[in-house]
Amino acid sequence: SEEKSLNFIEEIVENDLNSGKYETLVTRFPPEPNGYLHIGHAKAICLNFGLTQKYGGYTNLRFDDTNPVTEKTEYVNSQQEDIKWLGFNWKNELYASDYFDELYGFAVKLIEKGLAYVDESTADEIAALKGTPTEPGQDSPYRNRSVEENLSVFTKMKDGEFADGTYILRAKIDMASPNMLMRDPIIYRIKHAEHHRTGNKWCIYPMYDFAHGQSDSIENITHSICTLEYVSHRELYDWFIEKLEIFPSKQYEFARLNLTSTVMSKRKLLQLVNEKLVSGWDDPRMPTISGLRRRGFTPKSIREFCERIGIAKRENLIELSLLEFCIREDLNKSANRVMAVLDPIKLVINNYPEGQSEDLIGENNPEAEDGGGTRIIPFSNELWIEREDFMEVPAKKWFRLAPGAMVRLKFAYIVKCEDFVKDENGNVTEIRCTYIPESKSGNDTSGINVKGTIHWVSAQHAKTAEIRLYERLFTSETPDAEEGDFKDYLNPESLTVLPNVYIEPALADADLESRYQFIRKGYFCLDKDSTADKLVFNRTVTLKDTFKK
Ligand code: ATP
Ligand code: MG
Ligand code: MG
């Protein structure tokens, strides 16, 4: 069998386990609960959970909830639901906010070691002394105050004696470091804000860089995997761990997922939601996991996508059509085939008795091993077919309906077009056919060969449904990189609603988990907006593959 080559993180992990550096692999997925998870997060989820599935050990879910202003319990819940739906189970559910006491203790320890100080400079004054990437910064006038004074002011900060923005705590590192992040970074700020878990207990909150690595260390995370933007943070990550003399978690960086024709930052997705440019976080056009789920994507297709894009050390841009390729592959094998007529026109069979009907048997899925079972499809003398399957004046090589032409009705009979009816505007309103009784599918003794097969539904038996068709959410392949606002590049035609589509009666039993191929029209799933009176289907993806391999 073909061995897949290891990605660079798997190589590191294998080496660390083989050398005995660690006995047990411990990873974490650390979302900030400030929005719904998106397909980029899926890449990080598959990587972190995938490693411990492969090498043993375990993965924690840690909410990186150190910024009280943007975080909500709604997001905590949706993030958990999405990870579980993707098929992963965490060992421990943890919150960085549960470490606030410990993190405060770490800050005190740094002060006591002479490695942190309180600064009351304004933001502008701090910026002015920060230097530039090519010029060193200068020391703050408060840099050398005593340990006692630092401890006393920091305690007062914690006790709520100061207003927001008046004091900060900074690490005392090196104002001349070539790494700007090492120039006495801020580690605590005052923020009188209610936190989604700790309420009003705290009015000082640790900065990301002071919380993240220490949280990893508290949890004995062996490999802390993050995206490339954090390469320059690694020096600081290691510095805190070294000075605090705590468990040495190690940070490794991989290239984030960038995907064409969409945006992938929670902040931007939140703008689309807040400005009602989409129906919500789970709008089927959104790159969120909940949006993809509602659109009809399967967990398997998303995991397969993450597997195919791989783990690299350099940024790249992945085509959205690869994601569509993955869901098409999965649904081709698993989705039942059914018939729905999106743009209906009436077909009347002259020689089939009016008022009579018969039950035909349809195979659900020719790709499935057992054919996926069968279902009953009622047939009668009046059917709906697609308007586009008839041409009054047929083009060359037209194998569908036209005056005098024959076509097979899927699962049913061969029909011949005898006549058609037009309204006063010249639009065709009805097609009249005769059927060949000996041509029944599976039992055809007619000896007639036709090239075309079309889908249909029986008019008296059909149910109606609303169908929602989706296109790319953005007209630009790279809306983030365009001039002006990314929202200027929203595709006004990203949603088309067909209010009155005719579907097979068997589809009345559809549930939210079912996936269908509407023959010749694409893959569809039921939408949660459906009611007993009104079914709504989303098109997950068309049948045509635009992905260039
Ligand atoms: P966003 O700006 O979209 O909110 P984030 O990195 O701020 O992204 P977090 O909630 O902090 O969001 O992310 C949790 C984890 O998911 C992090 O470890 C982060 O590296 C990873 N992640 C986020 N976006 C991507 C992406 N596009 N590709 C791969 N991993 C990602
Ligand atoms: Mg983040
Ligand atoms: Mg973010």
299: domain CATH number? 2.40.240.10
Instruction: Determine the distance separating the centroid of ligand 3 and the alpha carbon of 138, expressed in angstroms.
Output: 30
Annotated binding residues: 32-34, 38-44, 64, 208, 227, 256-257, 264-266
Catalytic residue chosen out of the listed positions 32, 418, 466, 477:
32
28 in contact with ligand 1, CB cutoff 6 A: no
Q: Residue 155 is encoded by which pair of tokens?
A: 């305690």
User: Residue 30: nearest ligand to its CA?
Assistant: 1
User: What is the pLDDT confidence band of residue 108, given thresholds at 50, 70 and 90?
Assistant: very high
pLDDT value of residue 532: 87
On whether both 27 and 140 belong to a single domain, the answer is yes
**Residue 232 in this model has a pLDDT that exceeds 90:** yes
Residue 3 belongs to a domain:
no
- Our answer to whether residue 266 is catalytic in this structure is yes
Instruction: Determine the distance separating the centroid of ligand 3 and the alpha carbon of 275, expressed in angstroms.
Output: 19
Instruction: Determine the distance separating the centroid of ligand 3 and the alpha carbon of 31, expressed in angstroms.
Output: 9
Q: Give pLDDT tens digits for 240-273.
A: 999 999 999 999 999 999 999 999 999 999 999 9
Question: Of ligand 1's atoms, which has the minimum distance to the CA of residue 258?
Answer: 27
**Residue 1 in this model has a pLDDT that exceeds 60:** no
**pLDDT mean over 493-505:** 97
Catalytic residue chosen out of the listed positions 62, 158, 172, 266:
266
On whether both 395 and 531 belong to a single domain, the answer is no
User: What is the pLDDT confidence band of residue 546, given thresholds at 50, 70 and 90?
Assistant: low
Q: Give pLDDT tens digits for 113-163.
A: 999 999 999 999 999 999 999 999 999 999 999 999 999 999 999 999 999
469, 85, 145: which is closest to 298 by C-alpha? 85
On whether both 280 and 322 belong to a single domain, the answer is yes
Kindly report the protein residue whose alpha carbon is nearest to atom 26 of ligand 1.
40
CATH number at residue 245: 3.40.50.620
- Our answer to whether residue 400 is catalytic in this structure is no
pLDDT value of residue 547: 60
Residue 547 belongs to a domain:
no
**Residue 37 in this model has a pLDDT that exceeds 80:** yes
Percent of the chain, pLDDT > 70?
Answer: 99
**pLDDT mean over 160-168:** 97
pLDDT value of residue 71: 83
Annotated binding residues for L-glutamine: 64, 208
DSSP character string of 17-67: HHTTS-SS-EEEE---SSS--BHHHHHHHHHHHHHHHHH-SEEEEEE----
Residue 460 belongs to a domain:
no
Q: Give pLDDT tens digits for 434-481.
A: 999 999 999 999 999 999 999 999 999 999 999 999 999 999 999 999
DSSP class of residue 170 equals: E
Residue that finishes a domain, picked among 208, 227, 254: 254
In which domain, by residue range, is 45 found?
8-254
On whether both 23 and 119 belong to a single domain, the answer is yes
| Three-class secondary structure assignment of 196-252 | CCCECCCCEEECHHHHHHHHHHHCCCCEEEEEHHHHHHHHHHHHHHHHHCCCCCEEE
On whether both 350 and 319 belong to a single domain, the answer is no
Residues with Cβ within 8 Å of residue 267, at least 6 apart in sequence: 34, 35
Q: What is the ipTM of this complex?
A: 0.97
Residue that finishes a domain, picked among 422, 454, 486: 454
Kindly report the protein residue whose alpha carbon is nearest to atom 27 of ligand 1.
40
Residue 459 belongs to a domain:
no
pLDDT value of residue 544: 85
pLDDT value of residue 82: 98
Q: What's the mean per-residue pLDDT of the chain?
A: 96
265 in contact with ligand 1, CB cutoff 6 A: yes
**pLDDT mean over 213-242:** 98
Instruction: Determine the distance separating the centroid of ligand 3 and the alpha carbon of 105, expressed in angstroms.
Output: 27
Give how many domains the chain has, as a whole number: 3
